[in-house]
Amino acid sequence: MSLSSSRVAVVTGAARGIGAATAVRLAADGMAVAVLDLDEAACAPVVDAITGAGGRAMPVSADVSDSTRVQAAVARIAEELGPPTVLVNNAGVLRDNLLFKMTEDDWDTVLDVHLKGAFLMTRAVEKYMTQQNWGRIINLSSISALGNRGQANYSAAKAGLQGFTKTIAIELGKFGITANVIGPGFVVTEMTRATAERMGMSFDTLKQHMAGEIPVRRVGEPEDIAHVVSFLASENAGYVSGQVIYVSGGPQG
From residue 98 to residue 137, the character string flagging contacts with ligand NAD as x (rule: CB under 6 A) and all else as - is: ---------------x---x--------------------
CB 165 within 8 A of CB 179: yes
> What's the rounded Cα separation, in Å, for the pair 248 and 80?
36
CB 118 within 8 A of CB 139: yes
Active site residue 154: yes
Interface residue with ligand NAD among 10, 19, 224, 228 (CB under 6 A) is: 19
> What's the rounded Cα separation, in Å, for the pair 70 and 91?
13
Q: Does 92 bind ligand NAD (CB under 6 A)?
A: yes
Interface residue with ligand NAD among 23, 47, 58, 93 (CB under 6 A) is: 93
Q: Does 191 bind ligand NAD (CB under 6 A)?
A: yes
For residue 59, which phi and psi values (nearest 5 degrees)?
A: -85, 140
Closest separation between CB of residue 3 and ligand NAD, Å?
27
Q: Does 18 bind ligand NAD (CB under 6 A)?
A: yes
For residue 89, which phi and psi values (nearest 5 degrees)?
A: -85, 100
> What's the rounded Cα separation, in Å, for the pair 5 and 158?
31
> Between residues 84 and 117, which has the closer beta carbon with respect to ligand NAD?
117
Q: Does 87 bind ligand NAD (CB under 6 A)?
A: no
Closest separation between CB of residue 8 and ligand NAD, Å?
18
Q: Does 64 bind ligand NAD (CB under 6 A)?
A: yes
Interface residue with ligand NAD among 10, 11, 12, 59 (CB under 6 A) is: 12
Q: Which of 128, 154, 239, 246 does the annotation list as catalytic?
A: 154
DSSP three-state, residue 227: helix
CA distances from 89 to 13, 29, 102, 206 (A): 8, 18, 25, 27
Q: Does 249 bind ligand NAD (CB under 6 A)?
A: no
Q: Does 161 bind ligand NAD (CB under 6 A)?
A: no
CA distances from 235 to 9, 86, 151, 193 (A): 13, 11, 36, 35
Sheet of strand 84-89: strand arrangement:
57-61, 32-37, 8-12, 84-89, 135-140, 177-184, 244-247
DSSP three-state, residue 102: coil
**Stretch in the footprint of ligand NAD (CB under 6 A) among 1-9, 80-88, 182-190, 197-205:** 182-190
**Stretch in the footprint of ligand NAD (CB under 6 A) among 10-18, 130-138, 172-180, 230-238:** 10-18
Other beta carbons less than 10 A from residue 26's beta carbon: 31
Closest separation between CB of residue 153 and ligand NAD, Å?
11
Which residues are catalytic, by number? Answer: 154
> Where do contacts with ligand NAD occur on this chain (CB under 6 A)?
12-13, 15-19, 37-38, 63-65, 90-93, 113, 117, 140, 142, 184, 186-187, 189-192
